[in-house]
Structure 1
């Protein structure tokens, strides 16, 4: 099974750099020159089956990556939307507190009393903390901070996430 490490965004410079949305808890360890990722891109896009990092840096809190064989902005533009993946067996970290989006999507979301609240629709990776994207039973989409005080139990094997939402958390999403 492959895990999503990053999604490529727009080109950043004339020298083939691209912005990336990191989906890893260890970007400093993953985004290093020489690291190679399997790609997942639209059929016929011309994106290589794998990309190797030539250079990696942060600029104003955004990761910028340059890849071998992508020398300019035109080549970088062709990478937009490409997912960078690693095979799960290639994972070197052992982060028991970390979750991959594919482990979470579809899990049932319950309140502490066991009442259904909705389902997990995704994972929003943030700089300070990650958030569960939850579709409530009424169809409203909310972002739930993935912190133990609000998400006291997360069990992908059982297919359940318990959310102890503070007052008003869901109301904010319904009003917006």
Structure 2
């Protein structure tokens, strides 16, 4: 029976964003591998306080929300590894397997000019230069060299999907306060 690390129960912050999950133990000293939801995991590295919730599937070694005080998180070959207070051996790290990682949006580093966090784009309305509504951003896909906006819209009473490359050739303006993206795109593309 694996012993569970002593983690403090916590309240999930109102601005919490799910940014990854714990994949597995790494080594014998309590380190663990992390699978980030984003290709750019800066939010994982910038926050020393991760809020964990149990995996939606599989065995649950804890319930509710717990706070993990991260000692170190870094890239290691093609993955991310981390260590945390109270997670001191392989058994403790294995007990976290599958846990969902949340960090407060307020702890994300400031995005650079013309850069956006995916989480900030989801739910935005997309219109073209003529003001025609093309849909709402439901998801983003990383397709190697570029990111693609996945829009959902209704047509003849059915929900449909539209994909628009998130590149400057097509995206004119992202207006976060107005919750709108303006694109050079036509409904029949």
Please give the range of the TM-score, normalised by the shorter of the 2 chains: 0.5 to 0.7
What is the root-mean-square deviation of aligned Cα atoms in Å? 3.7
Q: CA–CA distance in 2 between the matches of 1:86 and 1:160?
A: 23
Query: Tell me, what secondary structure is at the counterpart of 1:152?
Result: strand
> Displacement of 1:130 after TM fit?
3.7
* Structure 2 residue 49 is the aligned partner of structure 1 residue 49: no
Determine which of 139, 144, 166 is the counterpart of 2:164.
144
In the TM superposition, what are the counterparts of 1:155-174 in structure 2 within 5 Å?
A: 155-165=175-185
Query: Tell me, what secondary structure is at the counterpart of 2:70?
Result: strand
Q: What does the per-residue CA deviation read over 1:3-49, in whole Å, with 9 as the maximum and x for residues that have no partner?
A: 6373114215354422321548563x8527xx512315259536631
The TM-score with structure 2 as length reference comes to 0.63
After superposition, the Cα gap between the structure-2 partners of 1:56 and 1:109, relative to the gap in structure 1 and judged at 3 Å, is same
Aligned to 1:174: none
Q: CA–CA distance in 2 between the matches of 1:158 and 1:106?
A: 12
> Displacement of 1:154 after TM fit?
1.2
Which is helix-richer, 1 or 2?
A: 1
The TM-score with structure 1 as length reference comes to 0.67
Aligned length: 164
Gaps of at least 5 residues in structure 1 are 171-176
In the TM superposition, what are the counterparts of 1:85-104 in structure 2 within 5 Å?
A: 85-86=103-104, 88=106, 90-93=107-110, 95-104=112-121
Q: CA–CA distance in 1 between the matches of 2:91 and 2:185?
A: 44
* Structure 2 residue 50 is the aligned partner of structure 1 residue 38: yes
Which is strand-richer, 1 or 2?
A: 2
